[in-house]
A = this chain, B = another copy of it.
Amino acid sequence: MIRGAVALFKEKGFHRTTTREIAKEAGFSIGTLYEYIRTKEDVLYLVCDSIYEEVLERLSALPTQAGTLEGLKIAIRHYYLLVDEMQDEFIVMYQESKSLSKDELNYVLNKELEMVAIFENILHACRKSGECKLSEDAVKLAAHHLVVQGQMWAFRRWGLHHDIKIEEFIKVQTTFFLQGIQGNGGKA
């Protein structure tokens, strides 16, 4: 059901997708759909939750080379490939989550923070091992920065994909980021 709903939400947005369409796409009747959910919003919640689960699971499964730039590069690469692979899901997740109820939105934003935290941890490790020059305070922002750069690949597909391919994108952005966290502030 969730796969089908993602596809529909991607195509028409949450509000323009009807519960009947969701049911049909999932292969059962409207009545059966409502055996599994209570309200239409539940579908959105399930969709967002399941996407985050998959993303977090796959990011957590990374071989950790704690504290090395190499490990960071691998993590970035994994994440960017994930965004590439799950473009539709990422777009739905960020464009529609605003329609969740307050509680559900908070829950989902926490998942987002978990995602950010994965990179925070990697950056902290690099900081401790001296492989990057970020200040303690800058780590969190850098992690957000990294996460947003990945999402950019999904959100700006219309402006990027016909100029550059994913591998090149990863390479450029990774270089960019590493310079950002290592350079001397552009003053040398």
Contacts and interface: CB of A to CB of B under 8 A. Distances in A.
Interface stretch (A24-32, A60-68, A80-88, A140-148): A140-148
Main secondary structure of the interface of A (DSSP, over half): helix
A152 interface: yes
A4 interface: no
Interface string A31-44: 00000000000000
A141 B172 CA distance: 9
Interface in A97-120: 98-99, 109, 112-113, 116
A15 B155 CA distance: 21
A160 B140 CA distance: 9
Copies of the polypeptide in the assembly: 4
Given A158-B109, A159-B112, A144 B140 contact: no
The residue among A141, A142, A156 with the most chain B CB atoms within 10 A of its own CB is A141
Given A148-B148, A148-B152, A176-B181, 10 more contacts: A13-B99, A95-B95, A112-B159, A140-B163, A144-B152, A144-B156, A145-B176, A148-B149, A176-B180, A178-B185
Interface of A: 13, 15-16, 69, 95, 98-99, 109, 112-113, 116, 137-138, 140-142, 144-145, 148-149, 152, 155-156, 158-160, 163-164, 169, 172-173, 175-186
